[in-house]
Structure 1
Amino acid sequence: MTESLHLLIVDDDREIRDLLTRYLARHGYRVTAAKDGQEMRRYLADRNIDLVVLDLMLPGEDGLSLCRAIRADGGPPVVMLSAMGEDADRILGLEIGADDYLPKPFNPRELVARIKAVLRRVQTPGATPVNGAGALAFCGYVLDQAQRRLTDPQGAEVTLTAGEYELLVALATRPRRVLSRDDLLEITRGRSAGPFDRSIDVQISRLRRKIEPDPADPAIIKTVRSGGYIFSPEVTQQ
């Protein structure tokens, strides 16, 4: 299953690069390692990369800037690593488009699990749509699950990260139903929320900025006090 998947490790610590390269290769992945942003950009331009494992603290251009550039270019999903384990750093990484975040030091087995979870969410066009559904329409938007794309009322594509897409599918396929943070994490990642896990809140905020007419007064994804979130519009299948 993983033999054709190509990972790019970006870390300035040679020991970590070598360790992750060997460990991930043993799990069947093809692995390329880069020591900085310059090498990362070259490999992304020259090779077909399925996922980037990106260190936050890099010499020169840091991981946040590089992650933002990957997102702007429509690049592969990103799992961010950082020795800075504070919530603020994790939230900032997720805000600028990382698909998951893992603080150092970490167990390599957990990194593999996170990589697999992110890659499961990134299906190729033509894969079986979620819940057997095709395209879902709401508020003029069309969410095409077969092509994994969202178009706005004017027909323009809305750029979503893998995490944002999975979260939108989870909400749109369960309209007018209150979903807690734990529910959404279980649906999208197959795991329960930790006591301080705010990643769903971050992704909800990002989604609102992309699809709400007024993100400060959301009408599509509403907050339910002490409950979670509810996808309020009518959803029709096309």
Structure 2
Amino acid sequence: MAEEARHTVLVADDEDEIREVLRLYLQNAGYHVVEAADGGEALRQLREGPIDICLLDIMMPEADGYEVLRRLRAERPTPVVLISAKGQDAEKVLGLDLGADDYLVKPFNPLEAVARVNSLMRRVYNMDARPLPSSGGMVGAATPLPVSPRLVVRDLELDVDACRLTRAGKAVELTPVEYRIMELMMSHPGRVFTKQQIYEAGWEESYLAADNNVMVCISKLRGKLSDDPGAYISTVRGLGYRLEG
């Protein structure tokens, strides 16, 4: 019997111990792992592919994680988790603005890293039914189709089938997390959603503790939608956020 195809994870970090630990845990979870000790090698691995998901350390020689992410996003939407010893909001915002899907702060539990990879694999590839390079088939084909293929709120239009958002006819580039949040809010314009509801819809994980992920993501969405932060998504103090309908 032929061996079942496994999804490939690129682990790019200049610390040998971190790469080794992540490799062991990811392999134990059933993934095929390729490694890179610097940004140049990470870019070579991505070119040679196929890579289903990337774990990129920010501080790497030759080309840092931000540069690798920029070049990757210019070509394709491969899911990316940035890894950094810096946990400041500014670092997270920069990484997410460049197109990262998630952010891990060192030191981290390798089990958490695997859980985040699992979550990204489920939600990204199930969401838009892109063919995985290693599988050759369509993933998520059995996912029920939304009731309405298009959601329209003011001059925003979300094509659910194509996972595409436009504002006044112009495309708005979204990460998978941002897409799910916009789908949630545009399905219920004017409704107030708590941080927990937004987190669980966007990240498809249980909201276990308060953090800044939702705030950072909403801030990014506001910037993508308008120069006026409150033009589309408003803050309801003490409750959450709503899309003005």
Say yes or no: TM over 0.5: yes
Say whether residues 1:168 and 2:196 are aligned partners: no
Structure 2 matches for 1:180-199, cutoff 5 A?
180-189=194-203, 190-192=205-207, 194-195=209-210, 197-199=211-213
CA distance in 1, matches of 2:180, 2:229: 23
Change (3 A) 1:4 1:150: farther
Task: Please give the TM-score of this superposition, normalised by the length of structure 2.
Answer: 0.82
Cα drift, residue 12 of structure 1: 1.0
Could you tell me whether the CA contact under 8 Å between 2:81 and 2:104 is conserved in 1?
A: yes
| Map of 1:53 onto structure 2 | 55
| Map of 1:204 onto structure 2 | 218
Cα drift, residue 140 of structure 1: 3.5
Change (3 A) 1:81 1:130: farther
| Map of 1:65 onto structure 2 | 67
Cα drift, residue 142 of structure 1: 2.8
Say whether residues 1:143 and 2:158 are aligned partners: yes
Cα drift, residue 132 of structure 1: 4.3
| Map of 2:137 onto structure 1 | none
Structure 2 matches for 1:197-236, cutoff 5 A?
197-212=211-226, 215-233=227-245
Change (3 A) 1:224 1:129: farther
Structure 2 matches for 1:30-109, cutoff 5 A?
30-109=32-111
Report the residue type matching 1:106 in the other structure: F
| Map of 1:236 onto structure 2 | none
Change (3 A) 1:149 1:5: farther
Cα drift, residue 174 of structure 1: 2.6
RMSD over aligned Cα atoms: 2.4
The CA deviation string for residues 59-86 of structure 1, in whole angstroms up to 9 with x for no partner, is 1322223223333433311111112233
Say whether residues 1:121 and 2:135 are aligned partners: no
Q: Which moved more, 1:160-169 or 1:71-80?
A: 71-80
Count of residue correspondences: 228
Unaligned runs of 5+ in 1: 234-238
CA distance in 1, matches of 2:77, 2:46: 8
Could you tell me whether the CA contact under 8 Å between 2:25 and 2:111 is conserved in 1?
A: no
| Map of 2:136 onto structure 1 | none
| Map of 1:134 onto structure 2 | 149
Could you tell me whether the CA contact under 8 Å between 1:129 and 1:146 is conserved in 2?
A: no
Unaligned runs of 5+ in 2: 131-139
Could you tell me whether the CA contact under 8 Å between 1:10 and 1:34 is conserved in 2?
A: yes
Could you tell me whether the CA contact under 8 Å between 1:67 and 1:97 is conserved in 2?
A: yes
- Identity, % of aligned pairs? 40
1:98 partner SS: coil
CA distance in 1, matches of 2:239, 2:67: 34
CA distance in 2, matches of 1:76, 1:59: 22
Q: Which moved more, 1:41-50 or 1:125-134?
A: 125-134
Cα drift, residue 102 of structure 1: 1.3
Change (3 A) 1:11 1:217: closer
Could you tell me whether the CA contact under 8 Å between 1:54 and 1:79 is conserved in 2?
A: yes
